[in-house]
């Protein structure tokens, strides 16, 4: 039997009503026109301040998010850890803010989460997005090599200072940091900054983790170049490897602006690229891997390579990660075999987290087979429970 077909383990933490809600949601997500219409209606209702937050909270929000605040997430974190031996990564999923006050608030939030991580074994990593600490357009300008004016120079210095503040605290508290990847046209400046941070803070062990989106065909070259730099300058590498989150946007922009798309030509090329990164990283002891994947074949590959290189299931250099509300068949079946598994647990005010949730729904409709697989597993478990 395929390890990931065990729905009894996969959905052991879900009550019958939660299972039914999941089935209903994925049925809705499977319908692409309905997702588009639903997204538009939800956006309109929130902008018009219509009273729909309660409905959102009891359906899509509670399925894909841990709560409104980090304290709100504690029952979900404890439930997953105590009942399923699955950890949580608290992800403050408020997007699109670009004022200094919001960046300072995000910094305070990440500091609070690092403290949370220190207090709880159930939260092994802290995470943030570069655009949580600075304006997207500023990263883009730095990435494009444009000259910053005096005001922008000061602004960029504050961005860099925020990164150093969290990294210093992370080293002190021994809490590794996952730094998410974003769109390609701003990513270079983030990559360069994160490399500098690795050089400073990853001398003893991997604390700072960059994220590689392997749907970009240039990421293997980037990984190898980073490895050469790490060998020369003697620091550890921490990488979260994912397939990617902005494919439609990347392709549309490339077409609109007339440059070659940074995205792999097809799904197979992305899968091959992802697996190549996994194979490359697991050969080297000074590399720590957070394998963010909803793909069963890639998960099997990681397990095979762990055996090949005698990496223990509990070795802290190797983690599997999935999003909360998705791929429980991978998360809980892996954790039942003793592997380190963490769920990305988004949280934040309902209204502010909606852009994240809408993006998540749209991604599910665009990834061939993802939603069908979720639905088939939910159907199997409903049948097993005789619901």
Same domain, 117 and 32: no
pLDDT of 254 reads 97
pLDDT at residue 368 greater than cutoff 60: no
In the chain, % of residues over pLDDT 70 = 95
Are 181 and 210 in contact by the 8 Å Cβ rule? The answer is: yes
- If one counts the domains in the chain, the total is 2
pLDDT of 253 reads 96
Same domain, 194 and 339: yes
- Residue-by-residue DSSP string for 334-349: HHHTT--EEEEEEES-
Distances, alpha carbon 230 to alpha carbons 31, 191, 205, 237, 319, in Å: 46, 14, 12, 7, 21
pLDDT at residue 43 greater than cutoff 90: no
Residue 172, exposed/middle/buried by CB under 10 A (0-12, 13-18, 19+)?
exposed
pLDDT digits (tens, 9 = 90+) for 180-196: 999 999 999 999 999 99
Q: What is the DSSP letter of 67?
A: B
Are 245 and 212 in contact by the 8 Å Cβ rule? The answer is: no
Same domain, 85 and 127: yes
Q: Which of 343, 315, 387, 384 is nearest to 83 (CA)?
A: 343
pLDDT at residue 362 greater than cutoff 80: no
pLDDT of 30 reads 79
Q: What share of the chain is helix, strand, coil (3-state, %, to 5)?
A: 60, 10, 30
Residues in CB range of 306: below 8 A, 6 or more apart: 282, 312, 313, 315, 318
pLDDT at residue 244 greater than cutoff 70: yes
Same domain, 78 and 154: yes
Same domain, 116 and 10: no
pLDDT of 96 reads 64
Q: Which of the four pLDDT bands, split at 50, 70 and 90, describes residue 354? A: confident
Averaged pLDDT for residues 49-76: 87
Q: Which of the four pLDDT bands, split at 50, 70 and 90, describes residue 351? A: confident
Q: Which of the four pLDDT bands, split at 50, 70 and 90, describes residue 366? A: low
Same domain, 303 and 232: yes
pLDDT digits (tens, 9 = 90+) for 310-343: 999 999 999 999 999 999 999 999 999 999 999 9
189-225 b/e (C-beta count within 10 Å ≥ 16 → b): bbbebbbebbeebbeebbbbbbbbbbbbbebbebbee
User: 3-class DSSP state for residue 267?
Assistant: helix
Q: Which of 35-39, 99-103, 204-208, 238-242 has the lowest mean pLDDT?
A: 35-39
Query: What is the signed CA dihedral for 2, 211, 307, 205, rounded to 10 degrees?
Result: -150
Q: Which of the four pLDDT bands, split at 50, 70 and 90, describes residue 161? A: very high
Same domain, 34 and 104: no
Q: Which of 174-178, 235-239, 364-368 has the lowest mean pLDDT?
A: 364-368
Measured distance CA(75)–CA(60) in Å, rounded: 18
Same domain, 9 and 78: no
pLDDT at residue 364 greater than cutoff 90: no
Same domain, 320 and 266: yes
pLDDT of 367 reads 59
Q: Which of 167-181, 197-211, 343-357 has the lowest mean pLDDT?
A: 343-357
Averaged pLDDT for residues 200-220: 98
Q: For the CA atoms of the chain, what is the radius of gyration?
A: 20
Measured distance CA(26)–CA(372) in Å, rounded: 8
Same domain, 137 and 3: no
Range of the domain at 4: 1-65+353-387
Same domain, 61 and 73: no
Average pLDDT of the residues of the chain = 92
Q: Which of the four pLDDT bands, split at 50, 70 and 90, describes residue 60? A: confident
Measured distance CA(291)–CA(331) in Å, rounded: 12
Measured distance CA(151)–CA(149) in Å, rounded: 6
pLDDT at residue 175 greater than cutoff 60: yes
Q: Which of the four pLDDT bands, split at 50, 70 and 90, describes residue 34? A: low
User: 3-class DSSP state for residue 2?
Assistant: coil
Q: CATH number of the domain that 249 lies in?
A: 3.20.20.220
Averaged pLDDT for residues 67-88: 96
Same domain, 180 and 38: no
């Amino acid at each position: 039997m395929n390890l990931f077909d065990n729905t009894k383990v996969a959905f052991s933490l879900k009550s019958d009503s939660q299972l039914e809600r999941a089935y209903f949601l994925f049925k809705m997500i499977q319908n692409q026109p309905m997702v588009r219409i639903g997204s538009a209606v939800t956006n309109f209702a929130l902008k018009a301040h219509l009273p729909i937050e309660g409905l959102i909270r009891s359906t899509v929000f509670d399925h894909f998010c841990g709560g409104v605040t980090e304290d709100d997430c504690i029952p979900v974190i404890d439930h997953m850890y105590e009942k399923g031996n699955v950890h949580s990564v608290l992800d403050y999923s408020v997007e699109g803010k670009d004022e200094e006050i919001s960046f300072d608030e995000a910094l305070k939030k990440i500091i609070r989460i690092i403290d949370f991580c220190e207090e709880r074994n159930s939260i092994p990593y802290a995470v943030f997005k570069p655009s949580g600490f600075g304006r997207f357009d500023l990263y883009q300008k730095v990435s494009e090599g444009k000259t910053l004016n005096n005001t922008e120079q000061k602004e960029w210095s504050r961005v860099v200072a925020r990164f150093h503040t969290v990294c210093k605290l992370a080293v002190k508290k021994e809490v590794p940091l996952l730094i998410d990847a974003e769109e390609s046209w701003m990513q270079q400046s983030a990559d360069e900054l994160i490399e500098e941070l690795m050089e400073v803070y990853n001398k003893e062990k991997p604390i700072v983790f960059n994220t590689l989106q392997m749907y970009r065909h240039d990421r293997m070259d980037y990984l190898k170049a980073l490895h050469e730099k790490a060998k020369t300058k003697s620091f550890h590498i921490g990488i979260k490897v994912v397939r990617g989150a902005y494919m439609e946007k990347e392709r549309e922009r490339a077409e609109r602006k007339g440059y070659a798309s940074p995205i792999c030509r097809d799904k197979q090329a992305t899968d091959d690229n992802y697996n190549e990164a996994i194979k490359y990283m697991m050969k080297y002891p000074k590399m720590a891997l957070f394998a963010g994947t909803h793909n069963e074949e890639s998960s099997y590959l990681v397990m095979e390579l762990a055996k090949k290189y005698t990496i223990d299931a509990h070795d802290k250099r190797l983690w599997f990660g999935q999003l909360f509300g998705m791929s429980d068949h991978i998360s809980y079946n892996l954790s039942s075999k003793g592997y380190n598994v963490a769920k990305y647990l988004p949280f934040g005010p309902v209204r502010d987290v909606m852009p994240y949730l809408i993006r998540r729904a749209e991604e599910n409709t665009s990834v061939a087979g993802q939603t069908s697989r979720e639905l088939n597993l939910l159907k199997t478990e409903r049948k097993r429970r005789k619901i």
